[in-house]
Amino acid sequence: MDDAFKLPDDCTTMAEVRTGVDATDRALMKLLDRRFGYMRAAARIKPNRDAVRDEARKRQVIDNVVADARAAGMPEAALEDIWDRLVEASIAYEMDVFDRTRG
Distance CA 97, CA 92 (A): 9
Q: What is the rounded average pLDDT of the residues 70-83?
A: 98
Cβ distance 84 to 66 under 8 Å? no
70 annotated among ligand-binding-site residues: no
pTM: 0.91
The response to whether 46 counts as a known ligand-binding position is yes
**pLDDT band for position 3 (cuts 50, 70, 90):** low
Q: Is 30 annotated as a binding residue?
A: no
Residue 94 among known ligand-binding residues: yes
Domains annotated on the chain, with CATH:
11-101 (1.20.59.10)
In this prediction, residue 82 carries a pLDDT of: 98
